[in-house]
Amino acid sequence: MLKWDQLREPESGEERLWELFHENSKVSPVDVAMSNEQVLARMGEMHQTLPYDGHPRYALPAPTTQLSLSVQDAILRRRTARKLAAVPMSLEALASLLSLGYGITSDNRGNVFSRSFRAAPSGGALYPLEIYFHSVAIEGLPPGLFHYNPTRHDLRHLRDGDLSRDIAGGLLFQREIPEESSIVIFLTALFDRSTFKYGGRGYRFALLEAGHVAQNLNLAAVAMGLGVRNMGGYLDRHMDGLLGIDGCNHSTVYMLAIGKLIDDGVSGVVAPE
Ligand SMILES: Cc1cc2nc3c(=O)[nH]c(=O)nc-3n(C[C@H](O)[C@H](O)[C@H](O)COP(=O)(O)O)c2cc1C
């Protein structure tokens, strides 16, 4: 049987994979763009957000948390937290965090492309990302794995129970993070939502967009008095399996743990009072 490792291209040599990819995802003057009609037809076949119908639904309150910091102060205070603690989080704070990360900010009615606009920019307004999170600390929610639907501003409960240990098993470093944070967020990408239009460059766009969403979440969390651990060092197949996504068309691209910021005395973190 073919093993995953046999599918991998070697990292070194004349044909480095990242270089091949970068070269082949460059825009060229001879590229032929899809027509608007073709783009619209494909968009019409795709979910704006995965629906997860049939899973228990939790409505989210309006995202009305008043943030206490200016953008300037949030940027200046942002640090990747070296130490976090799990503290309870209100449903309202969660709603604000998710909404400021990737929520709908304009219904964009009347625009020919008809997708609602969001808190993060998106190449072609195609929004290839999905947001999942795990928590045992949200007031009013059962423990477990959830999916956030920005279009409906609600949640679906996908898996019940404390999965902290399972998540820890997929982390390369600091396996205490899931237990020591209030919420672990998974940013995933459905690549075809972007690559159908932009080809290989659409893959770049999905990752760039994840950076936008992650920064929104970082700044919003800091302004809510919380700390964030940004994580790229995880076992992809482990996390994708945990989320129940195929890892090929749809895969985890970034993770963030959020909790109470603990000043570890060395990282220069300004812990809020
Ligand atoms: C794409 C990306 C992946 C990262 N992955 C991890 C990670 O897996 N674990 C971790 O502890 N920090 C991770 N970091 C955080 C960096 O270590 C951190 O941003 C860097 O040391 C600078 O510190 P600062 O964020 O506090 O300014 C990652 C940051 C980025 C942008």
Q: By percentage, how much of the chain surpasses pLDDT 90? A: 83
For residue 268, name the pLDDT band (cuts at 50, 70, 90).
low
Query: Which residue has the least CA distance to atom 1 on ligand 1?
Result: 232
Atom of ligand 1 nearest to the CA of 173: 9
Residue 107 pLDDT: 86
Residue 32 pLDDT: 87
Query: Which residue has the least CA distance to atom 25 on ligand 1?
Result: 80
Q: How many domains does the chain have?
A: 1
pLDDT digits (tens, 9 = 90+) for 168-188: 999 998 899 999 999 999 999
- To test the pocket of ligand 1, the residue of 186, 208, 231, 236 to mutate (highest count of ligand atoms within 8 Å of its CB) is 231
Rounded CA separation 91/78 (Å): 23
pLDDT digits (tens, 9 = 90+) for 234-255: 999 999 999 999 999 999 999 9
DSSP-based three-state secondary structure for 121: coil
Residue 7 pLDDT: 65
User: How many residues are given for the chain?
Assistant: 273
Domain containing 128 equals 52-261
Residue 268 lies in a domain: no
Please give the full DSSP string across 223-270, using - where no structure is assigned: HTT-EEEEE--B-HHHHHHHHT--SSSEEEEEEEEEEEE---SSS---
Residue 4 lies in a domain: no
Atom of ligand 1 nearest to the CA of 174: 11
Residue 23 lies in a domain: no
pLDDT digits (tens, 9 = 90+) for 23-69: 999 998 888 889 999 999 999 999 999 999 999 999 999 999 999 89
Residue 273 pLDDT: 46
Residue 43 pLDDT: 94
Residue 38 lies in a domain: no
- Ligand 1: centre distance to CA 236 (Å): 17
pTM of the model: 0.94
Q: Please provide the average confidence, as pLDDT, over all residues in the chain.
A: 92
Report the pLDDT averaged over residues 133-143.
98
- Ligand 1: centre distance to CA 211 (Å): 12
Residue 7 lies in a domain: no
CATH code, 70: 3.40.109.10
Rounded CA separation 36/58 (Å): 36
> Which residues, at least 6 apart from 183, have a Cβ–Cβ distance to it below 8 Å?
89, 94, 133, 134, 135, 137, 138, 257, 258, 259
Residue 139 lies in a domain: yes
Residue 222 lies in a domain: yes
